[in-house]
Chain A
Amino acid sequence: MLRWGHVAVWLIVVSLIAFVRLYLGAGRVWLAWTACGLRTFALLLNFFTGQNLNYREITDLVPVRFLGESVAAAKGVPNPWMLVGQLSLVVWLVFTIDATIMTWRRGDRERAFAVGGSIVFFALASSIQAPLVFWGIIQMPLSASLFFTGIVTVMGYELSSEMLRAPQVDRKLQESEAGLHEIEVRMRLAVESADFGIWIRDLVRDEIWATDEWRALFGFPDTERLKLDRILERIHSEDQDKFRSVLKNATEGGASYEGEFRVVLPTGEVRWIGSHGHVEFDGTGKPILVRGVSHDITARKEAEQETQNLRREIAHVGRVSMMGQLASALAHEINQPLGAILRNAEAAELFLQNGSPDLEEIRAIFADIRKDNQRAGSVIDRMRALLKRQNLDKRSVDVSELVGEVVALVHSDATARHVKFEVAVADRLPPVCGDVVHLQQVLLNLIVNAMDALDEAKAGDRRVSVTASLGGPQTIEIAVSDSGCGIPADKLTHIFDPFFTTKPKGMGMGLPISRTIIEAHHGRLWEENRPGGGASFRFTLPIEAGSTAK
């Protein structure tokens, strides 16, 4: 009969372990299993050794007064295997303490106190009571599992209060669910009308969730599982670095997520997407979640692009016409004395054909011719002086930027004329000292000349190459070469003369002005026909450090 009492103990211990593990959701699992195993082993020993687990032999039953009643308590030789039972209780105790501490730390203090605390208290009490009874220190029946009754009472209270609370919680849950639903409906309306796609990226689980709108924006089917690398594939190759740095910033402590990039859909359509969101952190400040919205900003981006193109075109027109105006003003000024010289010379010729020419008049004509010749020379001198002194705003100029800007400027023109550009700027070129606008003028003039030289060439053979490299220890050499037929030898000596032109609408001022500008920068501008055909105009500019000009 006494043996069967231990089945109840086993049941209670195992069920309490299970209760703690499941109800509190805490405690180390291996401890739970150890306690259950030991208890089961003790139960087996209970059946196969001695009278039961506690007594090897029960010699007598003695009446004990307990709580005013007379109870029969067994008396006899203790079973040494009893210690296995006690050990299982200790392990169980350790497990319960562990679970209680975990619950407590998690902040669930009330439950930890009620459940864990009481079980620990009663278990501790019962495991202390048994040895005390055995060694006759106190006299009471061993099986009066008062303590277990206490545990069960606490458990009962805990469970029943939970059950009482359940309907309340349920009602509250329903209310808040209705509220949530309302919010969700409103959100959906807002999101749909604004074409927003919402997304959440769980950094801990490495998962991405997104609304259907977002999927539509990025061209993902509803069924596809979203993966970061798949999304990255959709990003335009030119925007990938930007996209990666935005991602990196979000996962490395940035509080917000902000980016604009192009997405290439499977259909080939390119779309501008604007995304912004917030990063959420756990208690230790580690980012765990990024939540954000994405929307289509293609229209805005296109408008911006348009504006930028317009601005660039205006700048282009401005720069081209500046040179045009300068050339036109110079042409007018210089043609004045040249015209006078020509008319005087023609008049002198006619006067001399006359039988008795008026020598006084002829003399006056020659004096005027000399005067006008000096005047023409002074116009050129003045232009040089103008460029040298006041108009040069010398600063540090990055050659790569200079070349890039001018090439960008002629880009649309080049495309329209089927001219292919090859740009090669050596790495890490030191800056030169010069007036950026003037240097742009020179480069622009040389490039436009090069493109003009290609008008006769076949569409596939129209190439202009712009190179920049170190020309010496103190200079940078920039070359503009074309794949045209080069400059005929008889014209080569005149190309830098003012008003010498081979173009029907040319003014013959581009190269002389360009040369003047480069010389004002202490550089040189010259022409070489390339061995393989085509002309190459090259100029040098001193490297900034070596230049003393201010």
Chain B
Amino acid sequence: MSETTPIVHVVDDDASFLTAMSRLFRANGFSVKTYSSAHEFLAQRDADTPGCVLADLRMPQMSGLDLQTALAQTPNPLPILFLTGHGDIPSTVRAMRDGAEDFLEKTAPKKKLIDAVTRALSRDSQEREARARRRELRTRFDTLTERELEVLAHVVRGQLNKQIAGDLGIHERTVKLHRTAITTKLKVQSVAELTRLTQEAGIFPGPVRTFPKGQ
């Protein structure tokens, strides 16, 4: 699948800085789009296009941190890099904790800036791939019937056919038939592969874990 070229989105309320950034990225061979506010960016962005966001931390109305929050709630979030006149520690901490890709001063060396953008773009492409695969897996799982999903839930917990049959109150041979249908539909060869795919697709988020989170 030949993807469209990634775009570097620059969001800053300072027009002169926007132009300068746009020139620099163009000179370095990136595609650039500029926005004078976070709202403008959120309204115009094309969620399917890969890329990353470079946003000023201090902006009127919607700040860089607000943009980060809003972006995280969309189905295809882009990695975000913050730019600041001068870093203040509390904002930095919050931005990093919320998964900011990087935190750069506006006068940071060019190499640092380009490297950070390159890193952000590659992370975006990885995340995009992971998301695409998950979506593809989900479509496969969507072909399963309700009963087959029930059986699958028992299988990934490591139960034997006999136990499953007992639990569901059906014949052991019926369980076998369901299992064959599942492996065929999901195109898997082994129970191990089946378990891995189930986890990857994020089906049964609860039962798959056998110990509580955060112990």
Give chain A's interface residues, CB within 8 Å of chain B: 328, 331-344, 346-348, 350-351, 361, 365, 368, 371-372, 375, 507
Contact = CB atoms under 8 A, between A and B. Distances in A.
Contacts of B184: none
Interface string B5-45: 00000000010110111011011100000000000000000
Nearest to B58: A332
Nearest to A350: B27
Nearest to A362: B23
A361 B88 CA distance: 35
Contact of A339 (B17, B28, B88): B17
B209 interface: no
B23 A335 contact: no
A331 B28 contact: no
Interface stretch (B102-110, B137-145, B164-172): B102-110
A343 B24 contact: yes
Interface of B: 14, 16-17, 19-21, 23-24, 26-28, 58, 83-86, 88, 105-107, 110
A328 B16 CA distance: 21
B26 A333 contact: no
Given A332-B58, A335-B106, A336-B14, A343 B84 contact: no
A350 B85 contact: no
A332 B86 contact: yes
Contact of B23 (A328, A332, A343): A343
Contacts of A332: 58, 84-86
Contact of A365 (B23, B28, B86): B23
B85 A343 contact: no
Nearest to B29: A350
Nearest to A505: B89
Given A338-B106, A350-B27, A333 B20 contact: no
Contacts of B110: 342-343, 346
Contacts of A336: 14, 16-17, 85, 106
B165 to A, nearest CB: 68
Nearest to B26: A347
A400 to B, nearest CB: 36
B14 A335 contact: no
A182 to B, nearest CB: 69
B44 to A, nearest CB: 22
Closest 7 CB pairs of A and B: A339-B106, A332-B85, A350-B27, A331-B86, A335-B85, A347-B23, A343-B20
A337 B16 contact: yes
Contacts of A350: 24, 27-28
Nearest to A375: B16
Given A336-B106, A342-B110, A347-B20, 15 more contacts: A331-B85, A333-B85, A335-B85, A335-B107, A336-B16, A336-B17, A336-B85, A338-B106, A339-B85, A340-B16, A346-B24, A346-B110, A347-B24, A361-B23, A375-B16
A361 B23 CA distance: 9
A372 B16 contact: yes
Contacts of A361: 23
A335 B105 contact: yes
A331 B105 CA distance: 11
13 contacts: A331-B86, A332-B85, A335-B85, A336-B85, A336-B106, A339-B20, A339-B83, A340-B17, A343-B17, A343-B21, A346-B24, A347-B24, A365-B20
B24 A328 contact: no
Given A340-B16, A343-B21, A335 B86 contact: yes
B19 A339 contact: no
A507 B85 contact: no
Contacts of B17: 336-337, 339-340, 343
